[in-house]
Structure 1
Amino acid sequence: MGKRIVFIGDSITESGRFEDPEGIGTGYVRMIAKELDPRHMIMNKGVGGNRITDLADRWEEDVLRESPDVVSISIGINDVWRQLDSPEMEQVSPDDFKTIYRKLLTETRERTSTVIVLMEPTIIEEEADSKGNLMLLDYVKAIREMGEEYDAFVVPVHEVFINHLLHERPSKLTVDGVHMNKAGNELMAETWLESAGALL
């Protein structure tokens, strides 16, 4: 019997889903879907530019009302990136990020039996010690802590990407330092399947 699987996140998850008749897009979500039992229903709820605050605004409609068996969450890049490219905006600190995220996870645990998959954010610039990647560390740490707290599966995407960047001659994973090229999407999908694929 197929399961209902929601992937929610920002533009890295969205990846052309609005232009795709199937609504899955061309990124890592599609690559994961190709490896899963075709009886599963895959729902891509990625929206470009989203931060954890935006996920909170649409959590009821895009997650809880869909009654998924599995929800996979990929968020955090814009929570940091906006601090770098739009410092005039009201920002989401690591503490704010964790507080809002915990509320979503608590509500999900209280109202559903959904299996939760937490994806670490990927990278900001393809240098392991870039300012963005150093700032991401607190957000990655928060996700790992929430994984333990909520008995959720954690997909170590950030760790895998950083390890890739530390190779002597790493291949490119993004088109602009943030958005995935084919290799980046493949690495995200592969890491997800290794970490959470056993669920399905």
Structure 2
Amino acid sequence: MTTTSAPTPRTLLFIGDSITDCARAEDPAGLGFGYVRLLAEHFAAHEPTATVINRGISGNKARDLRARFDADCLDLNPDVVTIYVGVNDVWHGFTSGDGVSDADFERDYRFLLDQLSATRPGVPVLLVVPFVADVDEEKAGYHGELDKKVAIIRALGKEFGAAIVDLEAVLEEAWTVGHTPASIAEDGVHPTIAGHRLLADAWLDVFRTVDHTLARSR
């Protein structure tokens, strides 16, 4: 019988806001109940030597990730990093007046990528494009501000060679198969179960383009 060696164990870290968090404090495994858990289940089946870490915190903005990036990312020596932040930088400006300027958002987001480039060169980095689903007129009105944050993320991804998980494209595809804004995110921001599934699938599709190990686990 032919034997092959197991892949080198690696750590995949996800850092972001409530969409990543997804009640991880209530989960004994600390994975939450959203897309990070779905991806952890994928790796448990296809790459059981891998470790998936969720470091999402509800309400976080880019500046919050910057403040905790050492402890919650770099100090954990990740082999793959996913950053998903940006919707609160816009949403909170409408709900509580605590919005974030484009310049400040770019400064803080760039800091994260600068730190990864300096300390973890060669590590795959995936940037998730934040979205808002137009469940009502208020949420539809967020796009003017969110689009500017998304453009910053796309530009930084190109500059740093990070992969983009394009949730705007995911939504466009979702409408063609019969989804509605509420079936993706009932409040326009937090994904439903179906929304998390689409997010996880999109992440896997992108990661397969940058990681040959995962490409063999279809």
**Fold-level similarity (TM above 0.5):** yes
Runs of 5+ consecutive residues of structure 2 not aligned to the other structure: 1-7
Pairing of 1:41-120 with structure 2 (within 5 A): 41-87=51-97, 89=98, 91-113=99-121, 114-120=123-129
Deviation at 1:16, TM superposition (A): 1.5
1:42 aligns to what SS in structure 2? strand
1:177 aligns to what SS in structure 2? coil
Pairing of 1:116-135 with structure 2 (within 5 A): 116-126=125-135, 130-135=140-145
| Deviation per residue, 1:22-67 (Å, 9 max, x gap) | 1111100111122221211000000000000100110010001001
Name which of 161, 186, 190 aligns with 1:151.
161
User: Which 10-residue stretch deviates more, 112-121 or 67-76?
Assistant: 112-121
Structure 1 segments (4+ residues) deviating >4 Å: none
CA contact (8 A) 1:79 1:92 kept: yes
Deviation at 1:161, TM superposition (A): 1.9
Structure 2 CA distance for partners of 1:112 and 1:127, relative to 1, 3 Å: same
Pairing of 1:157-196 with structure 2 (within 5 A): 157-165=167-175, 167=176, 169-171=178-180, 172-196=183-207
Name which of 15, 18, 37 aligns with 1:8.
15
Deviation at 1:196, TM superposition (A): 1.3
- Structure exhibiting the larger radius of gyration computed from Cα positions: 2
Structure 2 CA distance for partners of 1:40 and 1:100, relative to 1, 3 Å: same
How many residue pairs were aligned?
197
Name which of 35, 38, 41 aligns with 2:42.
35
Deviation at 1:124, TM superposition (A): 4.8
Runs of 5+ consecutive residues of structure 1 not aligned to the other structure: none
1:135 aligns to what SS in structure 2? helix
**AA of the residue aligned to 1:30:** R
Deviation at 1:2, TM superposition (A): 2.3
**AA of the residue aligned to 1:69:** D
Deviation at 1:163, TM superposition (A): 4.5
**RMSD, matched Cα:** 1.9
Structure 2 CA distance for partners of 1:159 and 1:23, relative to 1, 3 Å: same
Task: State the identity %.
Answer: 35
Cα distance in 1 for partners of 2:57, 2:134 equals 21
Q: TM-score, normalised by structure 1?
A: 0.91
1:48 aligns to what SS in structure 2? coil
**AA of the residue aligned to 1:13:** T
